[in-house]
Structure 1
Amino acid sequence: MLGSSGASVARMNDELSAVIGGGADGAALGDGLLAAAAVLRDQVALRRAVTDPSTESEAKSGLARSVFGSHLDGKVLDLVAGAAGSRWGSSRDLPEALEKLGVTAIVKGADSAGEGDRLEDELFAFGRAVVENPDLRSALSDPARSVADKQGLVAALLDGKAASATVRLAREAVTGTHGTVTKALEEYSRTAAGARQRLVATVRVASALTAEQSTRLAAALGKENARPVHLNTVVDPSVVGGIHVEIGDFVVDGSISARVDDARRQVAG
């Protein structure tokens, strides 16, 4: 988000950090923020009213408090009311920002409990499972199935096997906000990395890396990029040998298959 929306998001993130730094439960904050985002996404008239640039900030904050006051915890209500009183370039930016803030709160809660790495690993693993399992992908994208049914399926798959933060975000991913489950999980993974102030590297290898190899690679990439790096590893037999690394738009392809393809192109050229 740019302009007024970008400034509002930055301020909201600062406020969230202060609230969590004061000891608030990140998971509870996240639940409330995601619930408010869902209401504002569905209720178009309300969303437009609390983002109307011609209305005073105090009035918009007051409206948000009157609507959500009996449903949200005081700290969440303060965040939502503050967001409603901020300036937004588009009315749709508000629920999007609240959703992102909710995901960030859940991530920060998991991180403070020592489960930040686990959360990132499990989000990636669940995303891969959806991509690689056509039946699961179809079940979670079937428009004939209700969101509650899809969330029940996610809970059956992950409850007791994944961190509670992972289950919460996986359940949120099937609501359809981002079009597909995989797109939602990718967005949540990016938000998690940003909240933890690190980069995410997708690493493709022919066979699984050892713990020592993963640690050394993460350290090397972190030194190169001057930021901590979290590895998401994909075992892909087509790599043949070597390694393929993606960090955002930056790609390093040292695989044998890439060198063979390059040789073929040179011969063909």
Structure 2
Amino acid sequence: MSPAHDTPTEVTTPGGAPLTVRAPAGTPRGGVVVVHDARGITPYLRSVCERLAAAGWLAAAPHLYHRQGIAETPAVGGWPTAATDMLAFTGPEIAADVDAALAYLGTAGVGEANRAIIGFCMGGTVALAASTRAPLAAAVSFYGGAVSTPYWDGVAPLVELAPALRSPWLGLYGEEDALITLAEINALRDAAAKAPVPTELVSYPGAGHAFHSDDRAAIYRPEAAADAWSRALAFLDEHATKAA
């Protein structure tokens, strides 16, 4: 893989999909597509990309709201607005934007054996779905929803998709999630175990939805967030740093 330390932080793919990119100081150990939560490309999401770059990864976050002409949902509307806005996506649109980000990693010199995906909230849903159809080395889902009921046309519930995972998958969930029940978490763990690849789902007592979002004090859970992030980096190291 070639060095990417001079990569610009905002790029547009040939198909017109914008990406937020963060690159490490030296040669990347691999590349990670970072899929945002329902709020879009927020300072929090950019900080996630920066953390990945600090760990040696070339991070590329597609702006899924670009078809609506925005990078993030209006903050004044809060979660209800974001939850409504995210339902405007379609499965093919999401897949096209993820594929554009993966193609960008390829042009930056990151081979398929070193490309991974990580997502948060609805991005966690996207990460698992992408791992059932795209050539990836690893996938990580932080509290991805639509476990038993789909969000978008063309994207089945996660319990139906999980047995078809094509790359190792790590799920990170809070057991007090108001949007995802503990029964759904357990069902997803069982479904993922049927896949022909290594899978693991870790759930945290006392943590709810978006427990990794350190920009939201009311729901941020530092201990769970730190453990989950450590596990995510270790998972990427294990599965996405193979020789191309």
Q: Which has the higher helix share?
A: 1
Q: Above 0.5 in TM-score? A: no
TM-score (norm. length: structure 2): 0.30
Q: Which has the higher strand share?
A: 2
TM-score (norm. length: structure 1): 0.28
Larger radius of gyration: 1
